Structures are given as structure tokens and as C-alpha cells.
Amino acid sequence: LCAMRVEGIYEAQVPIEFRAILELGSCCKLKTDRSSTFTMTSVNLEQLEAVTDAEYLPEKSIRSAYYYEYRQDKFCVIAVINTAANDAIIVGVNMEFPNVTKIYDNEKAALEGTAVTPLLERKPTVNFNTFQCATVKEAQNTVDKYLRAIRQVDTQPMFIAVHSNEQTSALMKGVQSLKEFPLVRIHCPEPTNLFSALDWQRNVPRRIIKHYFNSFVYLHDYVQYSRYLRIPLGNVPADISLFAADLFYARHLTKFGHVLWISPLIRPDLGGKELDDWRIGSDWNYSAVTDRPPAIVNHSRLSLSCSGFFD
């Protein structure tokens, strides 16, 4: 890239999602010289501009629901807890459930008076409806019908906190109604042998309820990250520290007119220049190292330097 034959450089390997977060942040609006939103079916990135003085996600400004899915061999469990209402469903494949409402009440009572109590937006009671299905597809259709009913009845803004080891694309492929909601991933992976433990049919519902309560703690932290980094809530990654460093550095470079070249791997991508740099190898070629505690002496370089000095 530093060679004289290079006349110019261009930006490459910058995902469109990262570019949108980089330029727009968490809040944006249509530019004033653009058409009305009522006459537009879609907008481009160039038609939007960032808003830095807006408060992102004020308290109790948006509703949420909790989605849990876990699969192992022929077993599967899917749970949806509608935080805005007082109902929930748990669908199991080849499994039976105990009294989930009683488990919920016990776990809720155990959290009373703790430090996380102010963060828990829960109803006094939640009516759990359990379903038993023979196949995963049947369970997904049951959950899809439930989410579709929520979308039709409740027109208020709502996002779904998703807790699952499955990829988001795989979840939306099985449950089509997930595409109708903004999704926020809860980055807390489940063990691979959850259904192998003894008394797992009782432990799994209890685990779902605990994860549901813990999700409010995660969401509280995610909202703080989103406000500080100016990124949408649904784009909070698992490794928030590394992402924050990349984002702040990219914004700093863009501010001063630098062109971005993002590496798809963990190691930096130097555009191939690291392959042409042989200085380290040539400097230490055929070196004779003296074992001295204070320093390491390269005699070949030392002799060349001395001969040039006396000449």
C-alpha cells in the first residue's frame, strides 16, 4: 500500500450493518430535504442522518417478551413469556411439565428483597399454558400462532429477548412470526447436555423461569451499553469490549478522513503488506547470539556497522 505505483485506495470489507451503526448510531431521522415517509416504501442509508441529542430507550418506553428455545436429540422445549401481559406458554416435544405456575411463584418469592428486585418487570402472577407436541415442527407452529396473536392484539412497540443456542436465522426459519419483532439476543449459552441430568423435567422449567428473571438484568446492562456506545439494543454483541474498541477506533478514523479496511478475522488485515516485510528476518539471519544477561548481541549486524564506520 505504501508503494509509489499505488495511485489510490478504496474502502473494502466493511459490512453494511457496521457502516450503518458507524454513521447513524442508535438514533436517526430522515434528512429534511427528503420526501415524506408516507410516500416512501424504503429508505437508503444516505437518506438518514444521526441524532445525537435524543434519549435512547427511556424507561418503560417499549414492551418486551422473553423467548427461550433449547434442543437436544429428540427433545425440545420452547417458552414464550409475554411481559406486557400475564400469560405465557411452554411447549415441549416428548416431555411433560410439572406445575409451572407454582415454580414461578417460588422463584419470584426467592428474589424478593434482593438487589435485582427493582429491575424485574414482572406481573404478580403469570398464567402458564403448557403444550405437548410430537415433533419440533408442531411445537414451532404452536409458538408461531401464539406470537402472531400477540402481534395482532398488541400494536405497541415490542421487542423479544431471545435466549437460545440456535442461530437467529434458524429460529426465524422455524418460527416465522419472530420476523415481525425486533430481536435482542441474551448472550448466555446453555450447556449441551441439559436433558441428560436426573429430574430434568422439573429442572428445565425452573431454569427457564430463572433465565427469565435474569434477562431483565442482562437487558438493563445492554441498554446502558447501547446508550454509551450509541448502538441499537439489538446489535449488542457477545464480546462487547472488543466491539466497543473497534467501533470507537473506526469512528475516530472516519472523523479524520481515513479509509476503513476491516478484517473478517481476529488478526488485523494489513492488505498483504506484512507478507512483503522481510526486515526482521534479514536482520537476524545467520546471527550469532552471545549469552549475556544484560543484552542480546547480533554479531553479524555489529561487524557490518563497525566496518562501515572505520571506512
Over residues 140-190, the pLDDT tens digits come to 999 999 999 998 887 788 999 999 999 999 999 999 999 999 999 999 999
Radius of gyration for the chain, computed over Cα atoms and rounded to the nearest angstrom: 28
Residue of 177, 203, 199 whose CA lies nearest to 70: 203
Is pLDDT at 267 greater than 80 in this prediction?
A: no
Q: Kindly state the cell numbers that stand for 204.
A: 428445565
pLDDT-based confidence at 311, cuts 50/70/90?
Answer: very low
Average pLDDT over residues 279-304: 53
Residue-range domain boundaries for the chain = 63-229
Residue 291, pLDDT > 60, answer no
- For residue 306, pLDDT beyond 60: no
Strand pairing class (48-50; 28-30): antiparallel
Section 1-9 average pLDDT: 70
pTM over the 0.85 mark: no
Q: Which residue has the higher pLDDT, 267 or 98?
A: 98
Instruction: Please give the pLDDT value at position 305.
Output: 47
What is the per-residue burial (b if ≥16 Cβ within 10 Å, else e) of 21-45? bbebbbebeeeeeeeeeeeeeeeee
Tens digits of residue pLDDT in 109-134: 888 877 667 766 656 678 899 999 99
Per-residue model confidence as pLDDT tens digits over 61-76: 888 999 999 999 888 9
Tens digit of each residue's pLDDT (9 = 90 or more) over 183-197? 999 999 999 888 887
For the ranges 34-48, 77-91, 253-267, the lowest mean pLDDT is seen at: 34-48
Predicted pLDDT of residue 110: 86
User: Per mean pLDDT, which range of 29-38, 84-93, 216-225 is the poorest?
Assistant: 29-38
pLDDT score for 10:
74
Higher pLDDT, 244 or 199: 244
Instruction: Give percent of the chain above pLDDT 70.
Output: 79
Question: Grid coordinates representing 11?
Answer: 474502502
Please name every residue paired with 77 in a beta bridge, in sequence order, or none if there are none: 70, 92
Pairwise CA distance, residues 92 & 131, whole Å: 6
pLDDT bin (cut points 50, 70, 90) of residue 300 is low
Residue, of 193 and 280, whose pLDDT is higher: 193
pLDDT of 235 over the 90 cut: yes
- The average confidence (pLDDT) of the chain is 83
